Every structure is written in structure tokens, then in C-alpha cells.
Amino acid sequence: MLVTAGPTFEKIDPVRFIGNFSTGKMGFAIAEAFAELGAKVTLVCGPVSLQTELKNITRIDVISADEMFHACLQYYDTSDICVMAAAVADYKPVHQELQKIKKSENTMTLELEKTQDILYYLGKNKKPGQILAGFALETINGIEFASEKLSKKNLDLIILNTLEDEGAGFQYDTNKINIIDKFGNIFIYKLKSKKEVAQDILKSIALQI
């Protein structure tokens, strides 16, 4: 299987970047849950401080969305189950400065362009029998937005968490999720440790096989 985890950093100059607060804890928990059952897992992760010692997890470290996209492409076709848990940056600077930008004016305009939509590409190129799961982190209208993402990106299921729920989202050791599958079923879970959430996700994926 293939799992992505953590953030991506999109460089502005050699010392600054666009990023987010993802720690990779959820993605690592998912990778380890499957590995403990004997699965051969490829874990593509952005810049995180986490470690895993399970020998059947092959870890690939990347920094940017482009690097994560190309790493996923390398392993996607041979993966039966793919869980895209990474918080990939939606935009990157059009121009990356080679030297540190010096502080001068009171304001600065930064031109951005979209990054490669990894999940959309994988969904468009999904093979028969291949299971593809994605994540949606929302702040409002979670079920609505996650359902739209599920359909648009041709997913088998989507895991929704929202910053409206205390203890859910980035940086916590806990998470509170809803899982929506391609049949329109919605499964609601209480706040749990991310290791326990990974088990719920594993069981939901098993129902799709």
C-alpha cells in the first residue's frame, strides 16, 4: 500500500517557505496500522520529525508538492490500497528566489500558482480494484465539502476532520473523524487517539475490498 503523511513546504527563498501545521502523526499511524497486519507499506512523507522502526515500511522523504507527486507516481500503479493523508500545499510561489529576500518595503506581493493536485490525478488514473482514500480538513460545512471532494476526485472513501472539533486536526495526538464512502454512507466517530482512529480507517477500507 501507499500512504502519504505530513505537510509540504513550498520555498519562497532559501530560508522561507509556504507550509502548514501538519505533523504527520495521522499518516504515520495509518502506515503502522497496516504494516502491523503484514502489509508492505510505502510511506511518502513531507518534512516531519517522526520516526518508524517497522521493517515493512519503506519511508521516502520529500519536501515539496512536486516531489511528493513524483514519489507517489513511482509507487501508485503497484499499490492495492492508497491513503493520501498528507496536507499538501495548494499553492506555491511562481518564482523561487535564489538568495534570501531582504526586508525593505512595508509590504510585499507574492505571486502564487496551484500545485499539482495529487489526489485528483490518482483518482483519474485509478485501476479497477484499487482502493483510494483521501482526507479533508475543513473549518465549516465539513460533510458538504468532503462529499464534493469524494466525488470530484473519484475516491472510494474520504476521511473528514474539522477544526470545529476540539482535539482534532493538526498537532494533536487525538482526532475526531467522519468517514464518507462512495455509496454515500457516513460513519461518525468520537474523539480518539490517532492510533485508534487509524484502526477505524483500516476497518472502513477493508469494507471497500
Alpha-carbon Rg for the chain in angstroms? 17
Cell of 179: 468517514
Q: Which three cell numbers stand for residue 60?
A: 521516502
From CA 208, how far away is CA 185, in angstroms rounded?
12
Distance CA 209, CA 206 (A): 5
What torsion, rounded to 10 degrees, do the Cα atoms 37, 40, 43, 44 define?
A: -150
* Active-site residue (options: 20, 141, 161, 175): 20
* 20 catalytically annotated: yes
Distance between CA atoms of 25 and 171, rounded to whole angstroms?
8
Cβ-proximal residues to 73 (8 Å cutoff; 6+ apart), any chain: none
The grid coordinates of residue 137 equal 480538513
* Nearest to 41, CA basis, from 69, 83, 73, 87: 83
Question: Among candidates 36, 44, 143, which has minimal Cα distance to 87?
Answer: 44
Catalytically annotated residues: 20
